[in-house]
Amino acid sequence: MIAIVDGGSTKCDWVIIGYDGKEFLRTESLGFHPRFVTSEIIEEELLKNEALQSLAPQLEHLYFYGAGCSSENVKHVLRTPFEKLYPNANIVIEHDMMGAAYSAYFGKPAIVCILGTGSNACYFDGQTLKEETPSLGWILGDEGSGSYLGKKLVHAYFSNKMPKYLSIAFKDRYGLTINELLENVYQKTRANSYIAGFNRFIVEHKREPFIQHLVYEAMKSFFENQVMVFPEAREAEINFIGSIAHYYEDILKTAASEYNLTIENIVKKPIDNLVKYHLIYKLPMLNK
């Protein structure tokens, strides 16, 4: 059996298939960003999933594409529990950008963009992945992402820059105090996912002028910092994956038009396309 995993900061989507492409299991787990969780937390989370653990002895290959897995010095956070729980599996851990490239590749070279809890972009021609700028994470980068938008929203609320009627709605919804906010951001784990969670409020009010402007400016910042840096930006198709790209599709496309860019595809849930890619390009090699 083969496990294919799309690992985001907030959650991971798992699909277990056989060599014939038959699907045995589809499940979710906590997000396993190696800079925000420990090996112990990962092991504990996986052991909770009885359905996944029942198939563990039969796993021969595990392909994990995860946020934060861009360097070898952090991959061990994932590799340690994976090797312990799936001792018979050949484990491949790649950056989520590679998974995104596979998920949003439709036969043509493309700039592939992630807009989820975090954000990133690359150029993928079907064989080679190229990045122009490094990911700076949710504090220094991640323009346009769920965490970026959440920061902008919370900042507007506490700095009294939010329209009164929205401020009242936000207070009624969350009852958030500055102490609670700072504790969750600076003292608890998975702060990026916590902040990104405020997108529920943004989505619910995305027709409001203030919210539309907030999202529009965030998307412009994404294009300026992560897309326009590619020489191929105006000639290659531009594809997106991730929930943020899906929920703000209309605003995202409006922002793209300001730079004379055209978005071809938006994939909300990349795991399905990721599985298809492996069926087409990876399984034939494993079956040899």
CATH number for domain 2-101+270-286, candidates 3.40.50.620, 3.40.50.720, 2.60.40.10, 3.30.420.40: 3.30.420.40
- Does domain 105-267 fall under CATH 3.30.420.40? My reply is yes
Residue with tokens 């690359």: 122
- Dist. CA 271–CA 275, nearest whole Å: 6
- Dist. CA 131–CA 111, nearest whole Å: 10
Q: What is the pTM of this model?
A: 0.78
Residue pLDDT, tens place only, 55-114: 999 999 999 998 888 778 788 899 999 999 999 999 999 888 888 888 888 888 899 998
pLDDT at residue 288 in the model: 56
Residue pLDDT, tens place only, 219-231: 999 999 999 999 9
Q: Where in the chain is the domain with CATH 3.30.420.40?
A: 2-101+270-286, 105-267
- Dist. CA 62–CA 4, nearest whole Å: 6
Q: Which segment of 79-83, 132-136, 148-152, 164-168 scores lowest on mean pLDDT? A: 132-136
